Amino acid sequence: MNGNISNLPMLAIIIPFTSAFLLGLFGSKRVKIHKAIAFFSTLISLIMVILLIKPILLKNEIISYWMGSWIPEKNWAIGIGLEVDGLGLFVGLIIAVTCFLSSIYSFRYMEKDNGLDKYYTLFLLLTASMLGFVFTGDLFNMYVMLEIMTFAAIALTSFRNNTYKAIEAGFKYIVIGSLGSSLILLGTVLLYAQVHTLNLAQIAAILHKQGYSTVSIFALALLLVGYAVKAFLVPCHTWPPDAHMSAPSSISMLLSGVMSKTGVYGIIRVLYMLYQSMGLPQVEFLIIFWGTITMFIGVTMALIQTDFKRLLAFHSVSQIGYIVTALGVGLALNSKVAVLGTMGGLYHMLNHATFKCLLFLCAGAVLYRTGTTDLNKLGGLSKKMPHTTILFMIGAASISGIPPFNGFVSKWLIYQSTYEAGYAPITIIALLVSVMTLASFVKVGQSVFFGRMPKEHKNVKEIPLSMRIPMGILAFICIFAGIFPKFISKYIIEPAAYSIYNIGKYVDVMFGKGYAAKMFGEIKIPELNYVYAGYWNPKAWLVLFLILLVGFMLVLTINIRRTNKTTVDAVEQLDSKYETFTGGEKEEFTHVAGHDLFWGLKHELSGYFKVIHEAHSGIVNDYVLWVVGCLCIVTIYLFVLMP
């Protein structure tokens, strides 16, 4: 075996697991002890993960640990192993940092809730299971950690069970989430029947030798759709909006900004490591198409939302679409373009975790002080909550891809990679989705922080400092990662991308030095000057501006042609809100609420919005059929087109 053996990955996982059970010894009334245990557990776990940076990200080593010292015999895994490479540590860092910040935010945010002993127990279980999922080197252990993660998240989603929405959200989550887990388990069983091992490195080596079979292709379909449920890919995206809206915001930030990454991580491991799908155009097209549909439907659903947290949930769906699209480009035959796409996807994983966690904490701040996240009942909070307003604007600019914030860097890499890979229409769609993202956050900003303040919120105050500190740290990361992209790439993104493509070293930890190198070869990461050539290039900025201008003119032309006197008359009869602008009301008292700002757009695209409104029926049975239908389509596609 190669690689370094270390206890650090095990400690990072076992400390929050153990602490979760210790909380039960202190009863339900000692809240300060619960807070202290949660704080120090997540802090120590974060320190353990940080200590792995030097050997893994800086020295490009792989850290392993075998449970119970069950070291492989004769190059055959007989025990559960932890194996942490650049990708695992990359996602582990995201998890450890955000969970630590969430624990700090929870101190004041959750102080009015009951049953905090249960909250912190579930919180620590969620933290530990997410770290265990990305650090394990065993396919079945990934499923075990995923189950712990799922049921902890379900319980936290329904934690405030005094509202029917929380109960409904928990029910949807347990049905759809369990279906996704079942597909992953079935795919794992089929793979085990095929290769007779559960170790990721060993599966990759055996499948590389055997090639694709009927069983392994069906297992691939099951695993892809199962992890698509966890990653919120359309049409498996129906449960997150309810879950994120109902869960406490300290948990919503983890479900949206972090837990969704575990689904993406699973997809990466399946496609890039186990099945070695690089250079297969049929898989490349499937993933790119899947990601594009997800980003577009997610953002259009966000435009019509009138609840702050629900709107953010649909934006999570959309942003995951960006990540998956980029990872699809990463399967391209051209290695330079492929790695560019993968780096864009990884960078956006990091960025999405920061700006989406920040935005959910902003929504939590609004809820904490006003008691509502309904956009139609809010307004003018910038006067009372200036710090929260500034932090929200940083998060909104970041997710909208506005320079110099971090979202622009990763989105630019995605634009560049999709264009260079020959998917120019996808590039245009991605640009339009960014415009619609900005538009929806203009709506949120206008509805929540600006405009006229309702009388019932005139005594609102700024949130406590302990809640602002985590938000400030996330905002700082949004700015830093946007201004210094080469630094982030060199020390975080590049090592993760290298580990994705060059799994020979990962497999060598199991089989011995030189064994995998002969099988898998090596792909080099492009020079930074190439990767960021378009980032500061004025010509590229001009092209971007012209594309946006042409797109705007086309939309405007279509709208002008469709607008006539009959349409205007129909609009006046359809909705009395039209009278607001002709009724002589004084302008300073006109409050354009969340459902009004894009009313014209919704009218012009009423056919499309009617379809997606009717499709999202809220009925769990329908959503289960969506997942099953998705599985059927993916299975047929793979069986027809896979070699």
CB 542 within 8 A of CB 534: no
426 half-sphere exposure, CB direction, 13 A CA radius: 31
Q: What is the pLDDT of residue 629?
A: 93
Determine, yes or no, domain membership for 404: yes
**pLDDT at position 523:** 61
| C-alpha to C-alpha distance for 84 and 287, rounded to whole angstroms | 25
- Quick one: 508 exposed, middle or buried, by C-beta within 10 A (0-12, 13-18, 19+)? buried
The pLDDT score that the predictor gives to residue 333 is 83
543 and 475 fall within a common domain: no
Residues 447 and 538 in one domain: no
Distance CA 558, CA 539 (A): 29
Three-state SS string across 429-447, please?
Answer: HHHHHHHHHHHHHHHHHHH
Residue 540 has a pLDDT of 56
pLDDT, mean over the chain = 84
Distance CA 62, CA 47 (A): 18
476 and 552 co-located in one domain? no
Given a cut of 50, whether residue 588 has pLDDT beyond it is no
Pick from 400, 404, 465: nearest CA to 432:
400
What pLDDT was estimated at residue 480?
A: 93
Three-state DSSP at 213 gives coil
Residue 40 within any structural domain of the chain:
no
Give the list of residues 6+ apart from residue 633 with CB closer than 8 angstroms, or none: none
Which position has the higher pLDDT, 28 or 314?
314
Q: What total of structural domains would you count in the chain?
A: 2
Higher pLDDT, 530 or 464: 464
pLDDT bin (cut points 50, 70, 90) of residue 336 is confident
Residue 12, CB-side half-sphere exposure with 13 Å CA sphere: 31
Q: What is the pLDDT of residue 586?
A: 45
pLDDT beyond 50 at 383: yes
Together in a domain, 334 and 478: yes
pLDDT at 4: 80
Q: What is the pLDDT of residue 544?
A: 60
Range in 60-64, 181-185, 330-334, 597-601 the model is least confident about? 597-601
pLDDT band at 597 (very low <50, low <70, confident <90, very high): low
pLDDT at residue 209, as a whole number: 83
Backbone angles phi, psi at 451, to 5 degrees: 80, -165
Last residue of a domain, one of 543, 559, 575: 559
Angstrom distance (rounded) from CA 393 to CA 386? 11
Share of the chain above pLDDT 70, in %: 84
- Provide the pLDDT for residue 59: 87
The strand pair at 81-84 and 4-5 is best described as: unpaired
Length of the chain: 643
The secondary structure of residue 524, as a DSSP letter, is: P
pTM of the model: 0.88
Of 481, 288, 472, 340, residue with least CA distance to 401: 481
Is the pLDDT confidence value at 562 over 80?
Answer: no
- Tell me 304's DSSP state: T
- How would you classify the pairing of strands 81-84 and 63-66? antiparallel
443 shares a domain with 297: yes
| Over residues 519-544, mean pLDDT | 54
Which residue in the block uniquely carries the two structure tokens 């898998």?
A: 520
In a domain, 177, yes or no: no
- Same domain for 446 and 351: yes
Of the pLDDT bands very low, low, confident and very high (cuts 50, 70, 90), residue 590 is very low
What does the pLDDT read at residue 161? 76
Would you tell me the crossing angle of helices 260-268 and 139-157 to the nearest 10 degrees?
A: 160
Average pLDDT score over residue span 123-130: 94
In a domain, 525, yes or no: no
Q: What is the mean pLDDT of residues 94-100?
A: 95
Rounded CA gap, 320 and 573, in Å? 39
Burial of 335 (0-12, 13-18, 19+ CB in 10 A): middle
What's the pLDDT score for residue 573? 46
Structure tokens at 572: 């006046």
Q: Predicted confidence band at 211 (pLDDT cuts at 50, 70, 90)?
A: confident
The per-residue pLDDT for 181 is: 92
The per-residue pLDDT for 335 is: 79
Do 478 and 540 have their domain in common?
no
Q: Name the band, by pLDDT with cuts 50, 70 and 90, for residue 595.
A: low
**323 and 414 share one domain:** yes
- Domain assignment present for residue 521? The answer is no
147 vs 524: which has the higher pLDDT = 147
The per-residue pLDDT for 509 is: 73
Q: According to the model, what pLDDT value does residue 145 have? A: 94
Do 450 and 334 share a domain, yes or no?
yes
Does a structural domain hold residue 324? yes
Measured at the alpha carbon of residue 581, what is the angle toward residues 578 and 584, in degrees to the nearest 5?
125
**Residue 316 domain boundaries:** 277-483
Contact 229, 177 (CB under 8 A): yes
Q: In terms of domains, do 415 and 294 share one?
A: yes
Q: Are both 409 and 537 inside the same structural domain?
A: no
Report whether pLDDT(123) > 80: yes
User: pLDDT tens, 212-254?
Assistant: 889 999 999 999 999 999 998 989 888 888 888 888 999 999 9
What pLDDT digit, counting tens, does each position of 34-73 carry?
889 999 999 999 999 999 999 999 988 889 888 877 877 7
pLDDT one-digit tens code per residue, 390-408: 999 999 999 998 888 899 9
Domain endpoint, select from 524, 544, 559: 559
Confidence label for 601 from pLDDT (cuts 50, 70 and 90) = low
Q: Do 284 and 430 belong together in one domain?
A: yes
439: in domain: yes
CB atoms within 10 A of CB 595: 17
For residue 437, tell me if it sits in a domain: yes
| pLDDT beyond 60 at 261 | yes
